[in-house]
Structures are given as structure tokens and as C-alpha cells.
Structure 1
Amino acid sequence: MENIRCGSCRALLFRAGRGAISGTIEIKCRRCGTLNALRPPEPKPERRERPDQGSANCGSISR
């Protein structure tokens, strides 16, 4: 479980499991009244593969 806290006063807003937030959530802190907007983390971009250079030039020196 992950503790979600107010960005202003650090009061505990709620506890959630990893990946539990699937969309944007707005929650008002009952201690200080700050409106906190929470979003799920952005997925890591997929790594693009390099174009195939061919196996003839693999870093070895041919004589």
C-alpha cells in the first residue's frame, strides 16, 4: 500500500495499492482545504530498436 498525502500540508489523504489510480482524481484535503489533483504515472516510452546495420560490420576487424 502507498500513502497518498496532501501536497501542501502532507496530511494523509488515502492509501492505495500500486496501479490503483487509473485516471485523474481530485481530492480536497480536510485539514488545509487544498484541492489535490492526482494522476497515474506516465508509462515509460518504449525503446526503439536501431536499424539493422548488417552482420558484416559487427565491430571486428577483418584482414
Structure 2
Amino acid sequence: KQATAMVRELIMHNELQSAKPSAHVPQNRKTKLCENYAKGTCTFGDRCNFAHGANELREQPAGS
């Protein structure tokens, strides 16, 4: 299960990186908590597209 969650996060991260120019930040970045961070298994650190705590959470953009 843990490996599956890590692979899923890696795939999502890679898709976001390849679909967008590197200078562009996804609109939905940090709008959901990182499940892997909560388990202590997130490998992306500051580059993670998910929030690593309530203090990082942002509101979902309108129309998303």
C-alpha cells in the first residue's frame, strides 16, 4: 500500500511537471493535504504539490 501511494504521487508529480512549464505553478498546488507526508513517506519535500500541514493549505481556485 505504501509503495502504491508513493508511485501514485510520483506519477501525479511527473505529469504535472511535464504538462506545465517549469516556471508555472499549478493552480491547485497545496489545496489538498499530502497523504504520504502524513505517513512520513513523502519524498518531494518543498517540491511537493500537496500541503504538508494545515498552515500550507490554500483554497481551491474558483472553477476548479
Question: Is TM > 0.5 for Structure 1 vs Structure 2?
Answer: no
Relative to total residues, which structure has the larger helix share, 1 or 2? 2
TM-score (norm 1): 0.20
Name the larger-Rg structure: 1
TM-score (norm 2): 0.20
